[in-house]
């Protein structure tokens, strides 16, 4: 995965079409694609008597991005912490690639976490480690040799356009740069599922846009399933109306879905007080008559 980012060969239209046909055929033949990447079944969770999640059920298909919207404290971040097993639900089931992880021990969760990448709100980079050591963290822990580590780290940093910062310490980076390094770290090991926990919070619009582009690129070019937690409507706009493709020069470009195309790999969930009050496409969300949703979208 992400091999398209190592070198940028000249790709002809014929090559692209042939590759696309082969990919589609492989995808059809792959029986595991029928299983959702993530599935929540009637999940309940309370803290100190307060309901955080109240009967939450949803699925994330392979290659799909699920955008979770909602106010702060509505259970958005809790949802992705449950996927990673950082929290355990009071009741209900959580399945990753069809595997019920609800009652997994910390030891058992370690293998599940190998296929999940997580981008934290503030990046959550290890302060005492350099950018290189942060991104290589998972590989170093697995005992991967130095040469392979460096190659992989450089590939990931190139993916987020941060290769120049490889020797810097996290304290030398801006908020947006930290987020991008966080994304690179999350993508090491080629996870098939990536969680984004408000990755654009507090960032300027161009940097936020860059983060969204990375998420789109992962979804459309790398077939990664993801949950994108946010409360910013701009993110919803980018993720649900644009798609990434490779042009004739082999460059990644972002195009609008337009009137003739509807992205089927992005859906929206809106959480309110731990309950899903909306689930569907962004177009349906904008037409929803619920006053809470209207207020959230339009701000009034």
> In the complex, which residues of this chain contact another protein (CB under 8 A)?
81, 84, 86, 106-107, 110-111, 113-114, 116, 118, 120-122, 124-127, 137-138, 141, 143, 185
The CB-of-96 to another protein minimum distance in angstroms stands at 13
Which residue number, 195 or 236, has a Cβ lying nearer to another protein? Answer: 195
Cα–Cα distance for residue pair 164/181, rounded to 1 Å: 11
Which residue number, 68 or 181, has a Cβ lying nearer to another protein? Answer: 181
In contact, 131 and 181? CB cutoff 8 Å: yes
The CB-of-189 to another protein minimum distance in angstroms stands at 9
Which residue number, 61 or 185, has a Cβ lying nearer to another protein? Answer: 185
Q: What one-character DSSP code corresponds to residue 259?
A: T
Cα–Cα distance for residue pair 141/284, rounded to 1 Å: 45
The CB-of-292 to another protein minimum distance in angstroms stands at 29
Which residue number, 81 or 286, has a Cβ lying nearer to another protein? Answer: 81
Contacts of 128 (CB under 8 A, 6+ apart): none
Which residue number, 77 or 235, has a Cβ lying nearer to another protein? Answer: 77
Whole-angstrom CA distances from 171 to 88, 166, 207 are 33, 13, 18
Which residue number, 193 or 212, has a Cβ lying nearer to another protein? Answer: 193
Among all chains, which residue has been given the structure tokens 């908020």?
Answer: 175
Instruction: Please provide residue 267's backbone torsions phi and psi, each rounded to the nearest 5 degrees.
Output: -130, 160
The CB-of-124 to another protein minimum distance in angstroms stands at 4
User: Which tokens hold the place of 78?
Assistant: 């809790």
Cα–Cα distance for residue pair 41/278, rounded to 1 Å: 16
Helix (H) or strand (E) holding 94: strand 91-96
Q: What is the DSSP string of 141-155?
A: HTT--HHHHHHHHHH
């Amino acid at each position: 995965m992400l091999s398209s980012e190592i070198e940028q060969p000249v790709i002809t239209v014929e090559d692209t079409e042939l590759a696309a046909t082969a990919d589609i055929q492989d995808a059809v033949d792959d029986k595991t694609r029928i299983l959702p990447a993530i599935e929540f079944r009637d999940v309940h969770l309370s803290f100190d008597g307060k309901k955080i999640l109240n009967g939450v059920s949803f699925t994330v298909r392979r290659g799909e991005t699920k955008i979770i919207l909602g106010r702060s404290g509505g259970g958005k971040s809790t949802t992705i912490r449950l996927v990673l097993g950082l929290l355990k639900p009071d009741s209900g089931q959580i399945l990753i690639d069809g595997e019920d992880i609800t009652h997994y021990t910390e030891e058992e969760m370690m293998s599940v976490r190998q296929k999940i990448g997580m981008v934290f709100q503030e990046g959550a980079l290890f302060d005492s480690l350099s950018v290189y050591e942060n991104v290589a963290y998972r590989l170093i822990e697995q005992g991967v040799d130095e040469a392979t580590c460096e190659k992989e780290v450089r590939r990931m940093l190139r993916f987020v356009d941060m290769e120049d910062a490889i020797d810097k310490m996290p304290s030398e980076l801006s908020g947006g740069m930290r987020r991008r390094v966080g994304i690179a770290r999350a993508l090491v090991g080629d996870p098939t599922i990536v969680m984004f926990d408000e990755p654009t919070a507090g960032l300027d619009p161009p940097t936020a846009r860059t983060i969204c582009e990375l998420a789109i690129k992962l979804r459309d070019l790398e077939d990664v399933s993801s949950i994108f937690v946010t409360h910013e409507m701009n993110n919803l706009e980018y993720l649900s109306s644009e798609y990434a493709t490779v042009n004739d020069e082999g460059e990644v470009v972002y195009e609008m879905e337009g009137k003739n195309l509807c992205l089927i790999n992005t859906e929206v969930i809106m959480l309110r007080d731990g309950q899903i009050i909306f689930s569907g496409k962004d177009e349906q969300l904008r037409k929803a008559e619920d006053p809470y949703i209207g207020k959230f979208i339009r701000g009034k």
